[in-house]
Amino acid sequence: MTKNSKQDRVLIFDTTLRDGEQSPGATMNHNEKLEIAELLDEMGVDIIEAGFPIASEGDFKAVSEIAERSKNAVICGLARANYKDIDRCWEAVKYARQPRIHTFIGTSPLHRDITALSQDDMIARIHDTVTRARNLCDNVQWSPMDATRTEEDYLCRTVETAIKAGATTINIPDTVGYTAPRESADLIRMLINKVPGADKIIFATHCHNDLGMATANALAAVEGGARQIECTINGLGERAGNTALEEVVMALRVRNDIMPYSTGVDTTKIMNISRRVAAVSGFAVQHNKAIVGKNAFAHESGIHQDGMLKNAETFEIMRPQDIGLSSSSLPLGKHSGRAALRAKLKDLGYELGDNQLKDVFVRFKELADRKKEVYDEDLIALMTDSTSEAGSEHLKVKFLRVICGTEAPQSADLTLTIDGKDFQTTAQGDGPVDATFNAVKALYPHNVRLQLYQVHAVTEGTDAQATVSVRMEEDGRIVTGQSADTDTVVASAKAYVHALNKLIVRRQKPVFNAQMSTSK
């Protein structure tokens, strides 16, 4: 890779814990947020947007603890353009080694109409709120929400105001994924050339993927002069998601010949954090997803396989090891010991303490007794299921037996542990899964709409584990749950209960209306 000068360094700003968590159903609990933040910090992300402190007490506590625990990254909190938000944000991030306040306001005609502010009134609001933030913190980022649909002259005026008020980073969001790569680059160039003081600050880009161009737009913005990319792990985010961290980082690495910019990200940690974010968010990575998808390094065509056997570079532009993916998928079995399991899990990116290993080893042995061979994918599903159950404080499946077949009625005999006490019932339904869900509803009454029920086999064979995903909605709150088991009905019950546990947590957080939107 070409060695780059300091001026060619591109900062990676990860907003998985803020914009990513705003994906419908992607709520993470407190410990999951701390874990993801630690992984981001370890992999060399420059700035971590840890959350939106004013949103809830839970968000405030998570941002505060992440700020206190961070070892390397700048810790950033989001705030709307008002003193209350900004003060609360500062209280959350102020103990970080490197704190940042990120404040924003919608500047396009559509957003000015919503806020009922004239152009002059908005300029005054920008000046006052950025000044307030800068008086509290030396590191201030400002964003004109919906910048790509804001009139150029007015956008220049708002950016100039924010710079004069003390902003050190100006982020240009493509809030609705409307722009195209050439426009993205031209917009950054225009601001750098026209706005006084633009040479003294860092321009950033924040692209949404509504038209599938988020990564292309982000890289084009860098070509135009931006030196910070806002992104998320797996492209998580509202609607169609955001620029994917793994895509921009690997694009800059692989095509360094035409994009001579460097990042500080340790790419060998990409697969581990991708899997963890997928697990805790409940959003599975599509198989053909660039970089981290299951098929990203798979070759089925005879021509491709022949080429790979002769020279891997014929059909792979990067090595699996570059992103932390083991090139082998050697199975373990029921005779494998703790040392082999620990080594394999380490290869997959899981560092376990002795107590954790002891618990996982028991689960592994149970799985190995049911399966002839346990593959990498089985272990990942096992770890995902372990972490899912670890957060199930309120509800837990203790016993399940179903009666199914061609003769009706199908029924489920279920024992559910609710806040430490066991409750049992038998329910009927249209098939074993429906009967099981009805039994859960009988023991823990709730009124939710099941949006998605999805099953896929982790590996091949009739003894494969089934990973079940469930998405449910209640009063505008959307949550997802996942679980894996060789018994599909058991996995279904655990996934449903996992989603309910998330919903219980979600009920403690407010549902934001349009006025509270933070999709930049």
- More confident site: 133 or 454: 133
pLDDT value of residue 517 = 45
pLDDT tier, 483 (very low <50, low <70, confident <90, very high otherwise) = confident
Residue type, 338: R
- Map residue 296 onto helix, strand or coil: coil
Give the other-Cβ count within 10 Å of 490's Cβ. 18
Beta bridge partners of 145: 106
Q: Note the pLDDT tens digit of each residue in 106-115.
A: 999 999 988 8
Average pLDDT over residues 356-377: 80
Q: How far apart are CA 227 and CA 8, in angstroms?
A: 8
pLDDT value of residue 2 = 37
pTM, 2 dp: 0.79
pLDDT value of residue 333 = 79
Q: Determine what percent of the chain is predicted with pLDDT higher than 70.
A: 90
Q: Determine what percent of the chain is predicted with pLDDT higher than 90.
A: 59
Q: Which two tokens stand for residue 403?
A: 């009666």
**Does residue 510 surpass a pLDDT of 60?**
no
**Does residue 118 surpass a pLDDT of 70?**
yes
Residue type, 164: K
- More confident site: 32 or 228: 228
Q: Note the pLDDT tens digit of each residue in 295-323.
A: 777 644 454 445 545 556 665 778 888 88
Name the average pLDDT for the chain: 87
Q: Determine contact, residues 130/162, Cβ cutoff 8 Å.
A: yes
Q: Note the pLDDT tens digit of each residue in 4-41.
A: 444 489 999 999 999 988 887 777 888 889 999 999 99
Burial 39-50 (b: 16+ CB within 10 A, else e): bbbebbbbbbbb
Q: Note the pLDDT tens digit of each residue in 251-286.
A: 999 999 999 999 999 999 999 899 889 888 878 888
Q: How far apart are CA 465 and CA 186, in angstroms?
A: 50
Residue that has been written with the tokens 């009454």 in this structure: 445
**Does residue 215 surpass a pLDDT of 80?**
yes
**Does residue 424 surpass a pLDDT of 70?**
yes
